[in-house]
Chains A and B, each alone.
Chain A
Amino acid sequence: MTAREGLVTAALIAALALAALWADGAGEPYWVNMASRVAILALAGAGLNIALGHGGMVSFGHAAFFGIGGYAAGIAATHAASQEPIMTWPLTVEGTDAMPTIWLAAMGASALAALAIGALSLRTSGVYFIMITLAFAQMIYYFAISWPEYGGEDGLPIYARNSFPGLDTYDPLVFFGLCFALLIAALALTRMLMAARFGAALDMARLNPVRLATSGIAPYPVKLAAFALSAAITGLAGALLADLNGFVGPSLMSWHMSGELIVLVILGGVGRLAGPIAGAMVFIGMEVVVGGYTDRWQLVLGVVLLLMVLFARGGIMGALAGAPRHD
C-alpha cells in the first residue's frame, strides 16, 4: 500500500467514525443508524472484495450469503423468543439472542453454503462462474420464499434487538460501534491475510493459476478457502443488517442485492482495502441525496455506473489514492 493510499484509507475510516459521533452528539439517531448501514454494507463489500478483488472470482451470488447471515440472526432470535429449540435431532440447538454466538453461527452457515456452492462453481471459470453463482443464489432465494416455517415471502421480524454482554445494543451509537469494530477487524484480517503466504497464493491464483500450480500450490483449494472466508464476512454483515432493520426477508438474497454488492465494491475500487468503505459511502450517499429529489434514483445510479465502467476505471480509490501498488 502506498503512503497516499494509507492516508486515504485512514481518512475514510476516521470520516465514518466521526460522522457517527457527530450525529450522536447532535441528537440525530437517524444519521447514526445511517452510519451503521454504511459500516454494514462496507463489511459485506469487504467480504465480497476478498473473492472478487483479490481472488478474481466474480461472484454474482453473494446476496445469498448476506441473506443466510441475516436469517441466522433472525432464526436464532425467533427461537430465543419462543423458547423452542431450533432442532432437537441429532443434537439439541436452542435459540439465542447473544450477538457473539449469532455472529459465529452466521459466519459458519455462510461459509458452509459457500463451500458447497464454491466446490461446484470453481470447477468452472469466467462467465460460467458468474452465471452459476447467480443461479445458486437464486435457488436459495426461492427456497427462502417457498419455505413457510420462517415467514416465507413475508420475511421474519426480529422483535427485540439481539444483545451483547455488557452493552446496550439499543443505543444507536453502541450498535454502530459494534458494526464499526467488526468492519475494522475484517479489514485488518484482509490486510494480514493478503500480506501472508495465503494472500500471495490467492493473488497468483487470480493472475496466473498455471504458474501457481507449477510452483506446487493447487489453485482450487486456495480459491475455495478465499471464497468461503469471503462469504463468512458477508454473512456476518447480513446478521448485523437484520439486527439493524429488526427484520430479515428474502429480498436480502435477491439477485438485485448481489448486483448492488458488486456495484459498491467496484464503485469503491476493486481489490483496494478501503474500497468497500468508499463504495458504501457513495452508494448510501447517492440513495439519500438523489433519492431525496426523485424516487428514480437508481436511474442516476445506472447512468453513473455506466459512465464509470466506460470511461473512468479504478473507482473512487483509484481517483483518490492513485493506482494500486503491489507489495
Chain B
Amino acid sequence: MTAALIFEQLLNGVQLGVMLFLTAAGLTLVFGVMGLINLAHGALFMAGAFVCAWTAAQTGSFWIGLGAGTLAAAAMGAVVEILVIRRLYGRDHLDQVLATFALILIFSEGALMIFGAQPLWLDPPALLSGAVHLPGGAAYPIYRLAIIVAGLAAGGALWLLISRTRVGMRIRAGESDREMIGALGVDIAVLYTFVFALGAGLAGFAGAMVGPLQSVQVGMGEPVLILAFVVIVIGGIGSIRGAFVGALIVGIADTLGRVLLPMGFATIMPASDAASAGGALASMLIYLIMALVLAIRPAGLFPAQ
C-alpha cells in the first residue's frame, strides 16, 4: 500500500507545486523587473477564485468562470498598478510592504462586503470530474491531473513569452537595466503595467484552478502568498527557473512530509505521540528547508543574473 500511497501523494505534491509556481512566478517577475515586494499578490489569487466561482455559478460553466477569473485578476492588477503600485517603485521596501498590506485589508474587507463571509463552492467541470486508476490501483481525481497539466502549460507559455517574444525581450531588458530601455524608447509605464497584470493574471488563474479543491473564501490567498515567498527565497528572487524548482521542492516536501513524517515517527514511538510530533515537524518542514538553503546559499538556488 505504501508505494501507491506515496505515488498519489507525490502527484498531490506536484499539483501543489505547480500552483505555487504560477503564484510565485508573478511575484518574482514583479520583483525582478520593478523591484517591488507585493504582499497583495495573494489577494489577486483570491480574486481569481471568487470571480471564477461567482461566474461559474451564474453561467453554469466552469470554463467561462476560469476565463473570467483570470481576466478579472489581470484587470484588477492593471488598475491597482496604475492607481497605487506605480507610486511605490522608487520607495523603500517598508513603504511597499505597508501600502500592499493596506491593499490586502481593502481587498479582504471588500470581498467580505461583496461575497459575504460564507465560503463559495465551485464544482470541477463535468469533463474533468471522475477519477483515473493509478498504477497500484488507487483512484486519483482527473481534475488534479488536469491542474498539473494546465499549470505546466501556463508555465511553458510564460517561458515562451519571456524568452521568444518582443515583449519578453523588453521584460528581460527591464530586469537588467530599466533606465536604459527607457532611454531606448520603450514606454516603461506601459511595460510595468503589463508585467504587473501578467503576474496578477497568473495568480488569478491559479486561484480559479484550485477553487474546486477547497472552499473559496476570504483569506485563502495569504497562506499561498507566504508559501510563494518561501518558494522565492529557496529558488532565488527574480528567477523564474528558481521559482519553478523552488515551487516543486516546497509542494512535494510539504505534501510528502505530512504523510511520511508521522508514519516514520510511528516506527520509533507510540502512535499518538508520533501523530503529533510528526505533524508538528511536517508543518515546519518547508521552513526548515528554507533555513537550510539560506545557511548554504543565502541568495537562493538559482540567483538571478
Contacts and interface: CB of A to CB of B under 8 A. Distances in A.
Nearest to B101: A259
Interface residues of A, number: 43
B208 to A, nearest CB: 24
Nearest to A126: B93
B180 interface: no
B165 to A, nearest CB: 27
B252 to A, nearest CB: 18
Contact of B97 (A58, A123, A139): A58
B97 to A, nearest CB: 6
A131 to B, nearest CB: 4
A255 B295 CA distance: 23
Interface residues of B, number: 45
B108 interface: yes
Residues of A contacting B: mostly: helix
Interface stretch (B67-75, B126-134, B283-291): B283-291
Contact of B280 (A58, A128, A147): A147
Contacts of B84: 306, 310
B182 to A, nearest CB: 22
B109 A299 contact: yes
Given A58-B97, A126-B93, A142 B109 contact: no
Contacts of A255: 222, 226
A135 B102 contact: no
Interface in A104-147: 120-121, 123-124, 126-128, 130-132, 134-136, 138-139, 142-143, 145-147
Contacts of A149: 276
A309 B283 contact: no
Given A142-B283, A298-B109, A309 B294 contact: no
A67 to B, nearest CB: 15
Given A135-B233, A259-B101, A310 B87 contact: yes
Contacts of A26: none
B211 interface: no
B99 interface: yes
Given A131-B232, A255-B222, A305 B105 contact: yes
Nearest to B117: A295
B98 A309 contact: yes
A121 B288 CA distance: 13
A69 B299 CA distance: 31
B31 interface: yes
B226 A299 contact: no
Contacts of A147: 276, 280
B294 A302 contact: no
A310 to B, nearest CB: 6
Nearest to B298: A123
A146 B93 contact: no
Contacts of A100: none
A262 B109 contact: no
A266 B97 CA distance: 11
Given A135-B230, A135-B233, A146-B279, A263 B101 contact: yes
Interface string B256-296: 00000000000000000000100110111001101100110
A68 to B, nearest CB: 15
Contacts of A303: 102, 106
Contacts of A126: 93
A305 B232 contact: no
A60 B87 CA distance: 22
A256 B284 CA distance: 19
Contacts of A60: 97
Contacts of A270: 94
A127 B101 contact: no
A147 B284 CA distance: 11
Given A136-B287, A142-B284, A131 B229 contact: yes
Contacts of B88: 309
B241 to A, nearest CB: 18
Nearest to B35: A127
B237 interface: yes
17 contacts: A52-B94, A58-B97, A60-B97, A121-B294, A131-B229, A134-B229, A135-B226, A139-B288, A145-B283, A146-B276, A255-B226, A302-B103, A302-B109, A305-B98, A305-B105, A309-B98, A310-B87
- Pick the 8 closest A-B CB pairs, nearest first: A302-B105, A139-B287, A299-B109, A305-B102, A142-B283, A302-B106, A306-B102, A131-B229
Interface of A: 52, 58, 60, 120-121, 123-124, 126-128, 130-132, 134-136, 138-139, 142-143, 145-149, 255-256, 259, 262-263, 266, 270, 296, 298-299, 301-303, 305-306, 309-310, 313
Interface of B: 31, 37, 39, 84, 87-88, 91, 93-95, 97-99, 101-106, 108-110, 112-113, 222, 226, 229-230, 232-233, 237, 276, 279-280, 282-284, 287-288, 290-291, 294-295, 298-299
